Structure 1
Amino acid sequence: MSNGKSRTAAAGAWIGSALEYYDFFIYGSAAALIFPKVFFNPDDPSTATLTSLATFGVAYAARPVGALILGHFGDRLGRRRIMVFTVALMGLATFLIGCLPTYRQIGAAAPVLLVVLRVLQGLSAAGEQAGASSLTLEHSPEGRRGFFTSFTLIGTQFGQIIATLVFIPVADLPERQLLSWGWRIPFLVSAVVTVVAYLIRRRLDETPEFRQAAQEGRLARLPLAELLRRHWTAVLRIVLASTIATASTVFTVWALSFGAEKEGLDRSLLLWVGVAANVVAVCAIPLWARLSDRIGRKPVFAVGCFGSAALFYPYVWSLTTRSYPLVFLFGVLFFGVVYSAANGVWPSFYAEMFSTQVRLSGLAVGTQIGFAVAGFAVTFAQQIQDAHGWLGVAGFSAVICVIAGLAGLTARETHRIPTAALGQGIRTEAAARPLTTT
């Protein structure tokens, strides 16, 4: 595989993921800061906040369903087609959220419509990272798969940076303008985002691994059945390992709500913590990924999981001190540096557990079930906070990170296995042979 095609695939995955996850992440900021006052009964602010955070998790509940559908078609029709479809669906749903009437205008129908569009966002996201990771891995040269696939997550973090930067001036608007029209701007801007991402994705090439499998008649007729018959242990492992995304959802949504509403911290400054952490993450992710190409996926992933567990307490504690230097310090260290180890390596780590015939299905199904847990962890965190305070939230989040790390350690090390032999139980390059499926 030429480095030129590898770079093109990585760039396409990076730009497309950044633009798609801009759409996905602006919802998180809005759910924490805006939607409780816009789409729910403002006379009961505590219930409104809890319900709004629950709608954030609804997309994660929809993602396993989307994984089953998009995974099947991705392994039957190709990675490129799925990547074009997901970005179009995400853009449409996000734009329509910006057009919705509010609770005061149409009552209970407002949150219902919001949830429907959030479900469409979840269905789209289900195929995004699995498709981008499969495409970049199958375009990557041997020995550099970790580095090139990490650009999918670099794009995701970059999308979060853009989403947060857009929300900072919006959050600074006077309350009346913010709740009447200001919050709509980031969602309506997604129309431009969608057109750009769609045009970029249409120019990507299908992967040589998939094309060869198609030409030789080796594509599985029912990828999901093949996946569950031969790779169910890998799927289960990824489900557990993917719950490490709890570190991201709790940091991005719950901590933002807790710091602003409970501790009285400035909303804009808290958003700047997210920007700073993600800027560091954009730099740290490829470095961790390159390290995994040298020493293996498992040790790097474990550092990210166990390190995140250890840093949850000091980060949440820093919010209670109301010291902005401490919040920035622990926020950047936790999310920007340590969590990036797991975040940067999982696209290659998980994708290498499967053969070409079921790779997109395996990635999509395994990650989206784990991500669903992470999505609703925000709601659980809010309930735990109400019952046990912030210490309970820190402990709950840390336990999930430890479980994810232990699941990763049970996996086989794959960073030196040739791409053609992945997912076949082959341990040496000399033993590599094509998988025959019917």
Structure 2
Amino acid sequence: MSQASLRVVAIGGGAAGFFGAIACAQSSPHAQVTLLEAGREFLTKVRISGGGRCNVTNACFDPAGLVPNYPRGGKALRGAFSRFQSKDTVAWFAAQGVQLKTEADGRMFPVTDNSETIVDCLIYAAKEAGVKLRTNAPVVSIVRGGRDANITEDPLLTPTYKGGEQEEFEINLKSGEVIKCDRILIATGSNPHGYRWAKDLGHTLEPPVPSLFTFNVKDPRLEDLAGVSAENVRVRLLSADKTKLEQTGPLLITHWGLSGPAILKLSAWSARVLHDAEYQASLQINWLPQYNPENLRSLLQAVRSQLPRRAISTSCPIPVPKRLWQHLAAYVGIGAEDTWAGLSNKVLNQLVQELTQGEYQIKGKGVFKEEFVTCGGVNLKEVDFKTMESKCCPGLYFAGEILDIDGVTGGFNFQSAWTTAWLAGQAMAN
């Protein structure tokens, strides 16, 4: 097919849809590339991501190092990242005049700390590349129709196809308009409509369930501690099947329970386990993973010997927030005026237990700010990860969260969107 005759439609005006459309249009300047968005504005998720700053990617510039940050899809992405990874994302935005900065935890944001910088960049790049942008264009259905590959027509009027069947797609809009095209990129995220179109075009789906969420925990040990954070905590899900699901990192106590990177990572890796358990589970928290129980016990015994007259609640000898220390001490029966001299071995052991193996009951899930990530989607075995083309339907491509790919917090979900969209865009143009 000549480039001049190539008609490409990207469905979904988010990060993956835009990046795929731009990549295609830049690689094939004479192609007709259209991007359809059902809503009134583009890139709504980009606008609210990262608290309005947009966590564009992560400063992990090793493809193999990126893979472990994806509870689902990491293996399939390994080769894809060798072709387009985080450093390529940084370079692409730099070429558009957008500089990114790296924070201490590896997250990368625009130096403006404003997601509108990324939104404006993508819209401008799309227009410059000649992409036709359409909002308020909801798709109702996608129909594919085959043309006899062995019939040769006038090549000046219709492309000549040799061997195999060339698909033409008809996209039916809610307005009644029908758009015909040669290649389609579905980049609709976790939208049910996108899942339905993929299924109608021959794909199987992994059931979508929430990923990357906070835990609802009501417990007297956490009352009145909203806003208190611990820098290094190990959290472990005590699942019935004994599966080892644990994460280490910062933890934040909230009004509704627990959040922070450690919790969000655990929610992603245990997304299906928690879904199947209806978000009712036991969580073990080790507030001091740098200590083992024996070492911690010895430390507290030493404090008891050296500071016998000190009040326990006001003399915290370990690296945990003081308010948390006071709550846990009170929970095991230590009064506000009790001194180290009066601390029995039994209560000391209970305190060690609370600090290293406290159990809390998860009673539901919350949403991580306005950012909602879903695991599940198009089965990855049905997609060629060199091109992101469907193995079931020639001319159909996928990018972003519609695939059964999800990453932990830190810019990894956007990076999988940029990578899959870039590969799809390049492939659709060729």
Q: Would the TM-score normalized by the shorter structure come out above 0.5?
A: no
Is the helix fraction higher in 1 or 2? Answer: 1
Is the strand fraction higher in 1 or 2? Answer: 2
TM-score (norm 1): 0.26
TM-score (norm 2): 0.26
